[in-house]
Amino acid sequence: MAGVFDIDLETEDINTYFYCESVNRDSEKVGPECFELLTVLGKGAYGKVFQVRKVQGAQMGKIFAMKVLKKAKIVCNAKDTAHTRAEREILETVRHPFIVDLLYAFQTGGKLYLILECLSGKTELYYCCFCFYHQEGITSLCSFYLGEIILALGHLHSYGIIYRDLKPENIMLNHQGHIKLTDFGLCKESIHDGTVTHTFCGTIEYMAPEILTRSGHNRAVDWWSLGALMYDMMTGSPPFTAENRKKTIDKILKCKLNLPPYLTIDARDLIKKLLKKNPAQRLGSSKADSMDIQKHPFFRHINWDDLVNKRVEPPYKPQLHSDEDVSQFDTRFTRQTPVDSPDDSSLGPSAELAFAGFTYVAPSVLESLKEGFSFEPRTRPVRRHNSSPRTPISPLKFSPAGPFKSSMDREPDLFSPTSPPKVMVPAPLENGGASQPIRTPARNKKQKGHRR
């Protein structure tokens, strides 16, 4: 399993507070009692991720992913607190078609809750490309997915945010087949032209040389990771791998890039330019940022305006039985009984200040409340999460799509790929009151059938 690192090597003042005024006073009050636990999707050092159904208020009946974090474990380390704050604030501020949506955020005495859109799975993209790496359709397949990733990264960069953890596990597909970037815990804010940071973080196989050498890095690290991801998608493994981390790092820093002969000329050229060890020579390192990459001949068939507005039909759509289908997620988690342990803990006043202003309700939810919107749940497919992109896989059985074509049902132009959109960022409000137990679905067949 690829290791994820986060070691702070720079001296900086870490502000661990959420500065927010209480607004949206008439918005929905949301807490743990508003959600019914359905399935465990994942588990980490700081908490769990559940598939849940909203059982109260606006969007009742809709399926979400609920990330639950334990405050006591987070506040032990100032850097962890800062990362948690950054993820919450970035998800509120940055709205984009190819970045996961945050719908709600709230807290209890001992826990933090993030309610996110439920997506199809963390390895679908890798499966799709790995199955077609030897076929002629791999170039058009990769250009579609890489194009959406480039637009998402470019959007983050326009806000001074670098991602720093691009890898297959953090790229998911929604029910339509479009990508969504997830997991913003290693992002760094306020990185504009001329600014660098020195934190040693990321996943080794996708980390840029300047992170490994601690020489200072900026947004160019995301384009190195894009090159490593592209290589991975088109060959089945990252460009530099070894039996241990030290040897992998040595390869990244010292070894020459080897490209398989079956890659097209344009694919080879793009990978070479993205995997330049000198960040100043790397494609995308100029002030033009993602625009330089979008102009590369590998993407000559991409209409960027159509792509960002999701008017290009995805080459593959996940096939799932229902919006609760978790058959594609790791059974080590999905077989567990979904339980959110009782929250009877409390932190000291100084520790609680670190999470002031955490509560949030998305503008789309507020609009639905104002307009008396009646929500009909949509299918939100999910799939298995492999622990590593190099885990052996079984080929999927589906036919490669033909040339990309515009969707019949055209959506309005929401974004322009050449300029950042204007976003409305509402300040969050705090929900008071004690925490309530989360409802867990009954396990007998009669109740299950009634729930459906």
**pLDDT above 90 coverage of the chain, percent:** 43
The more confident residue out of 341 and 52 is: 52
- Torsion angle (degrees, nearest 10) of CA 187, 188, 194, 196: -100
Instruction: Using alpha carbons, list the distances in angstroms from residue 260 to 29, 263, 265.
Output: 55, 6, 11
Residue appearing with tokens 């999927």: 396
Q: What does the buried/exposed string (b/e) look like for 235-247 if buried means 16 or more CB atoms within 10 Å of the residue's CB?
A: bbebbbeeeeeee
Res 241: pLDDT: 95
Residue 132 pLDDT level (bands cut at 50, 70, 90): low
Band (pLDDT 50/70/90 cuts) for residue 3 is low
pLDDT tens, 393-418? 333 333 333 334 444 444 444 444 44
Instruction: State residue 99's pLDDT score.
Output: 96
Mean of the per-residue pLDDT values of the chain: 76
Q: What is the DSSP string of 205-244?
A: GG--HHHHTTS-B-THHHHHHHHHHHHHHHHSS-SS--SS
29-38, 171-180, 347-356: range with lowest mean pLDDT: 347-356
pLDDT attached to residue 2: 54
Q: Which of 389, 403, 400, 390 is nearest to 132 (CA)?
A: 400
Tell me if 67 is assigned to a ligand binding site: yes
Asked whether the predicted pLDDT for residue 448 surpasses 80, the reply is no
pLDDT at position 249 over 90: yes
Q: Is a pLDDT exceeding 80 seen at residue 156?
A: yes
Q: Can 325 be counted among the known catalytic residues?
A: no
- With 0.85 as the threshold, say if the pTM is over it: no
Say which of 8, 13, 101, 165 is annotated catalytic.
165
Greater confidence (441 vs 272) lies with 272
Instruction: Find where tokens 């020579």 sit.
Output: 281
pLDDT of the residue at 258: 96
On whether the CB atoms of residues 76 and 351 are closer than 8 A, the answer is no
- pLDDT value at position 73? 85
What are 189-242's pLDDT values in tens digits? 999 888 999 989 899 999 999 999 999 999 999 999 999 999 998 888 999 999
Name the percent of the chain in helix, strand, coil, to the closest 5: 30, 15, 55
Q: Of residues 174 and 66, which shows the higher confidence score?
A: 66
Instruction: Reduce the secondary structure of 320-373 to three states and give it as a string.
Output: CCCCCCCCCCCHHHHCCCCCCCCCCCCCCHHHHHCCCCCCEECHHHHHHHHCCC
Tens digit of each residue's pLDDT (9 = 90 or more) over 98-131: 999 999 999 888 899 999 999 866 555 655 665 5
pLDDT of residue 259 exceeding 90, the answer is: yes
How many CB atoms are located within 10 Å of the residue 254 CB? Answer: 10
Q: What is the per-residue pLDDT across 20-36, written as a single tens digit (0 to 9) for each?
A: 332 233 467 889 999 99
Lowest mean pLDDT among 63-67, 287-291, 379-383: 379-383
Q: Which domains does the chain have, with CATH numbers?
A: 14-120+320-438 (3.30.200.20), 124-308 (1.10.510.10)
- Reference 295, options 273, 280, 324; nearest CA is 273
Q: How confident is the model at residue 58 (pLDDT cuts 50, 70, 90)?
A: confident
Q: Looking at residue 82, what is its pLDDT? A: 81
